[in-house]
């Protein structure tokens, strides 16, 4: 797959089939992930793949509680304002995201595979996400959908304890990536155009180009 296709079309794919992901596909995803950069090449990361039915069943209610907490706190005002004016483009995007996240929360135990990422001793916190994103890009190349989630952190040690993470070695859970073969079609991720969020030389100065349509696929 063209690298740009992977970059443009790797977006949150939360609706998936329960079909298992073959071990050789899982191996390619993880082998790609550990090529990612980390500060000082410390590779202070660990990954836990979870496909055990009992562990997946235990994760389901925990995830649902975290999502309910999310709606009741951080996202409360944004969701209320989207529901109050549902026809605005930004409201539509918010409500579509809510529906997608709700689907994931309702079916969490049904994901065939989860990739948990842990890190330690990383003062910036930035060293784990390149590997997580590489795993998601590799999954995309394999036709496997993914979504990056962090909300299980609301549960403190509950998930690390479930996964047998030693408590005394400083490992912190950075992300949980549910994986599965998507039921829907891949599409280009919708984002604010680069020229609206980028400047040149000085904050607020025009970056020097306007990109009103995604540059992939090429229009030539
Ligand atoms: C740091 C981070 C944390 C996230 N946490 C969650 C999460 O807990 N649950 C979830 O469903 N999505 C989570 N997401 C996914 C975002 O909701 C998603 O990337 C965003 O809505 C864009 O979706 P799209 O790629 O489908 O356009 C997270 C993304 C990032 C980068």
pLDDT tens digit string along 62-81?
Answer: 999 999 999 999 999 999 99
pLDDT tens digit string along 142-189?
Answer: 999 999 999 999 999 999 999 999 999 999 999 999 999 999 999 999
d(CA 143, CA 136): 10
Cβ of 94 closer than 6 Å to ligand 1, yes or no, is no
pTM score, whole prediction: 0.97
Q: How far is the CA of 147 from the centre of ligand 1 (A)?
A: 6
d(CA 58, CA 66): 13
- Which sequence spans correspond to the domains of the chain? 3-189
H-type alpha helices, the chain:
3-9, 23-33, 53-72, 76-84, 89-106, 129-141, 158-162, 194-197
CATH number at 3-189: 3.40.109.10
d(CA 137, CA 115): 13
Cβ of 188 closer than 6 Å to ligand 1, yes or no, is no
* Residue tagged 């842990």 (tokens): 118
Instruction: Using most ligand atoms within 8 A of CB, pick from 7, 148, 175 the residue to mutate for ligand 1.
Output: 148
219 against 182, higher pLDDT: 182
Q: How far is the CA of 12 from the centre of ligand 1 (A)?
A: 7
């Amino acid at each position: 797959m063209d690298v740009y296709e992977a970059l443009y079309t790797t977006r949150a794919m939360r609706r998936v089939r329960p079909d298992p992901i073959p071990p050789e596909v899982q191996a390619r995803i993880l082998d790609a992930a550990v090529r990612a950069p980390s500060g000082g090449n410390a590779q202070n990361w660990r990954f836990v793949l979870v496909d055990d039915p009992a562990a997946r069943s235990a994760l389901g209610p925990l995830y649902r509680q975290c999502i309910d907490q999310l709606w009741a706190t951080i996202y409360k005002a944004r969701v209320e304002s989207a529901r109050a004016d549902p026809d605005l483009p930004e409201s539509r995007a918010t409500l579509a995201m809510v529906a997608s996240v709700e689907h994931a929360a309702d079916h969490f135990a049904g994901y065939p595979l989860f990739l948990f990422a842990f890190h330690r001793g990383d003062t910036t916190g930035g060293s784990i996400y390149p590997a997580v994103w590489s795993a998601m890009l590799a999954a995309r190349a394999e036709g496997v959908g993914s979504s990056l989630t962090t909300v299980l952190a609301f549960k403190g040690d509950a998930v690390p304890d479930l996964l047998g993470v030693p408590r005394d070695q400083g490992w912190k859970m950075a992300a949980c990536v549910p994986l599965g073969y998507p039921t829907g079609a891949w599409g280009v991720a919708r984002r604010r155009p680069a020229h609206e969020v980028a400047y040149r030389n000085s904050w607020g100065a025009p970056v020097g180009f306007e990109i009103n349509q995604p540059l992939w696929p090429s229009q030539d």
